[in-house]
Amino acid sequence: MKEEILGKKAIEIADMIKKREVSASEVTGLFLERIEKLEPELGSFITVCAESAREKAKEIDKKIDSGEKVGRFAGVPIAVKDVLCTKGIRTTCASKILENFVPVYDATVIERISEASMIVIGKTNMDEFAMGSSTENSFFGPTKNPWDKERVPGGSSGGSAAAMAAGEAPWAIGSDTGGSIRQPASLCGIVGLKPTYGLVSRYGLVAFASSLDQVGPMTGNVADCAAMLEVIAGHDRRDSTSIPAQRNEYLEGLTGDLKGMKVGIVSELSGDGIDEGVLRCFRLTCEILESLGVICEEVSLPNFEYALSSYYIIAPAEASSNLARYDGVRYGFRARDNADSVWEMYEETRTGGFGQEVKRRIMLGTFALSAGYYEQYYGKAQKIRTLILRDFEKAFERFDILVSPTSPTVAFRIGEKVDDPLKMYLSDICTIPVNLAGIPAMSIPCGLDDGLPVGFQLMGPALSESLILNVSFALEEEIGFDAKPQTFRA
């Protein structure tokens, strides 16, 4: 029974629980055992909610046994990136400055998964304040990739990706500011979706860059991804950027019929700078698309070459503003109570409370917003952002979706890029344009290069999640990617 449960889709586990073929307590216990076994070596979780998860599972079992109404995915555990506020459960953002912060409310996404009667099994590790591409920038230590424990899982949602790949949870939640769902999904061989900006509420998501951040699902397959999106998507009046759109039935749209579709292969993201092994898997996947009746043609989006530069002005500028609230006064870490002045206390708190990468981005952003440099840097970056959006709009006049590799490389070794910020930033070169434009995109595993997963990225116009999910579903069926890391078989 143990292996049977661990290897099943989340939606299948939910069905088994409702039919009383297995109890929520049994399922939760199996995944907690898995976490206890793997965590000392893997580091996917910052906080494991063992006690509260078992209590919630017992409540759900009692309701099912008595015939009471339960949520759609009752009893299915879920791992949540530690950037979403969880009432009564500490939310650290992997930072010393929030090491012991316990929110007094739930994020909207947490409310919605609770309404579906899912069980939060733990809060996953991440790059501090979601700033990074490797989950090495965590106050609690790095997460290791289940495919090779000497390699990174990607970032910043690396803990969620690693937990999924290692079978520690049937599905997970991440956040994506410049590729933080899709890049780790690629490096860990799972499915990850960044929804349209505003489709999923950001209320209760600790902000990094407010115009770029978006919450999304990280799953083992496309059907689970569609199901999770149905749960968390939808308008929220508490989020001023939330789209007033009706929830879609994404699962029903998984027909696999792609005939007559036109797909654009982004030339700027499928040539120089992409490893040959990654390109090989990518090209083979494009051939599979053609075999399914899809017309594939190359398309140029010329302003993409400026995306990285634009992003690393806009995102740090917004981070500089958002992270000003962590001052040691209202909540979180305070360096000492006997400082000679409030300014000294501020300085010591922020110096000791933030990690190197967070401080680097705060300084970058503060400089870009400073008098005399605002128009020269931030103003120009926003103009480039508009040009990238126009590139996408023009391409979508010709093509239904666009495709590229998700990451230019497979998982790199721990420590390989951590001392070279520019080299690390290039890890997100394929994913950043999507965030600047606010459109949806997802990554699915499309093969292995030297025994490590490669991701295939699909991008669509705003609110085209159903289309992207359907194409991904058809590809998933044809690719038949069923490889598992060694830790899953352990």
Q: Per the domain annotation, does 267 fall within a domain? A: no
In contact, 72 and 26? CB cutoff 8 Å: no
- Give the model's pLDDT for residue 2: 62
Per-residue pLDDT of 71-80, as tens digits, reads 999 999 999 9
- Sign of the four-CA dihedral 370, 373, 379, 384: negative
- Give the model's pLDDT for residue 121: 98
Per-residue pLDDT of 146-171, as tens digits, reads 999 999 999 999 999 999 999 999 99
Find the domain containing 483 and state its range: 2-257+469-489
Query: For residue 490, is pLDDT > 60?
Result: no
Assign 330 a pLDDT band (cuts: 50, 70, 90): confident
The two structure tokens encoding residue 364? 């970058």
Q: Per the domain annotation, does 448 fall within a domain? A: no
Q: Per the domain annotation, does 289 fall within a domain? A: no
In contact, 89 and 123? CB cutoff 8 Å: yes
Q: Per the domain annotation, does 118 fall within a domain? A: yes
Assign 61 a pLDDT band (cuts: 50, 70, 90): very high
* Dihedral angle computed from the Cα positions of residues 468, 115, 98 and 369, in that order, rounded to the nearest 10 degrees: 40
Q: Per the domain annotation, does 385 fall within a domain? A: no
Query: For residue 247, is pLDDT > 80?
Result: no
Q: Per the domain annotation, does 350 fall within a domain? A: no
Active site residues per annotation: 81, 156, 180
Q: Per the domain annotation, does 449 fall within a domain? A: no
Query: For residue 1, is pLDDT > 70?
Result: no
CATH code, domain with 51: 3.90.1300.10
- Give the model's pLDDT for residue 414: 97
Per-residue pLDDT of 434-479, as tens digits, reads 999 999 999 999 999 999 999 999 999 999 999 999 999 999 999 9
The two structure tokens encoding residue 213? 């951040």
Residue type (1 letter), 304: F
What order of strands is seen across the sheet that includes strand 45-48? Answer: 45-48, 119-124, 77-81, 171-176, 214-219, 191-194, 441-449, 452-459, 401-405, 262-266, 295-299
Q: Per the domain annotation, does 78 fall within a domain? A: yes
For the chain, how many structural domains are there in total? Answer: 1
